[in-house]
Structure 1
Amino acid sequence: MSKTYAKIQHQVQLFYILLKRRLGISLAMPRSPTNAQTSPPPTATLKPRRTKRQTSSNAEAAPVPAALKEERRRIMEVLKPVVHMMGSMLGPNIELVLHDLTNPSASVTAIANGHVSGREVGSPILTGPKDDRAFSAALTAATDTAQSGHSVVDAYPTLSPSGTPLRSATVVYRDAEGIPFAALCMNADLTVLKLAHAWLEQSIHGRPPSATANEVHSDPPDMDALMGEIIQSAVHKFGKPVQFMSKDEKVHAVEEMLRRGLFIVKGAVGRAAAALHMSRFTIYNYLDEIREREAG
């Protein structure tokens, strides 16, 4: 397990424990029979302190008032259609995810363009992008309920589970008591824009004879590397040699390449065909099949 993953997992575990205490979820801590008989019941009139960080490990979880539960439910229901609307407008390379922070083991309650990170409704919070600063923001929000308003984590770099560079941003939502309960995240795969930029640069400027050695080898290797990363990511997604892939799996691989903008680059069809051990004609047939399916 990498140090980064271990750090993120530790942050999520701390966040999960703090949420369970503040949101009234039972910690289910084991108690010995002796302690069960001698420990007095919790005082019903004791109110949790919300203006300071609560650090005691044996603090009692306060029940969530019905009004707060209803407030959270309504906000989540309002945000769900927003996720799908924005996902359709922003395009297939930008993922939008709505998290229920009170349920980390199945936090994803709505998602658009989930192919960017490979997630779906019901996925746990740990399956998100690597190096996600939103974990730290959510942890801070959970331990400082004196802060009012929602927390915004501006654009920051992350990585998809397959290693694709992403640009991410997150809003952590609080209820009327200042307790974080939801997060709306945006993860953008900018590979298609980088490919388009590299292709335009090469088409407009070409390779001038007076270019230095560094200039000659700057843009084309970058574009080649991006194309290779897209093709390898799509082909290796199923974890099996190409010769053992079914037709449906190969179609899915071509669709993944299409979504990430590979085929706007000259020569991409030939490279994809070589990687999948098939003809260019077959690639074109798969592309027609994918477009007909999406149109229908």
Structure 2
Amino acid sequence: MNRDDLTLESLVMIAHGIARHFGNDCEVCIHDLQADDLEHTICYIINGHVSGRKLGDGASKIVLETLEALNKGENVSDHLGYRTHTSDGRILKSSTVFLKDESGKYRFVLGINHDMTSFINVQSTLNNILENFDAKDEDVYGQIPLSVNDLLENLIEQSVKLVGKTPTLMTKDEKIRAIKFLQDAGAFLITRSGDKISQFFGISKFTLYSYIEQAKTVDD
């Protein structure tokens, strides 16, 4: 058994402990950051009914952002107690922890998604459980996607919301701003995302690549 196997085995034990502690409404999943295909990063999951995901499903937005940050040589940090939601509107309290292998490289992501919907209805008696539950983070991490295609759709919708106009009404600079958002979010790591994004914004692939280069000089 190699060291990665030992690390994963330890994470699986931790995942079972968390799920057992919080019950069936708490999903715990493990993403493999070295997976060959972003469509299949989940290498272990418990209580997948919470988000509707299963073993072998793809990356979430936060995992995609992490991969993009690592590609740029940037540091990443854990995200704890932020708010997400499912496709059917249930509200989750989520935490994401990044783990390194023996060589010091980030290898696995431990994700916790606890369905808080029933707790919210009796929030006054459950303040300790909901401590640090920050609703403003929902705009950052949004809906947990069921697939990488869903994730790309969500990112494109967020880029439009950021600009505040439909693509047909956007100026060149506004499209560059939207594309910078998509680039920073790691959207272009998704296979064939360039085709969909260029079609959505009504520009050619050549123009898209030009906008990507121009976006690198745009301040946030």
Query: Normalising by structure 1, what TM-score?
Result: 0.37
Query: Normalising by structure 2, what TM-score?
Result: 0.49
Q: Which structure has the greater CA radius of gyration?
A: 1
* Structure with more contact order per residue of length (Cα contacts < 8 Å, sep ≥ 6): 2
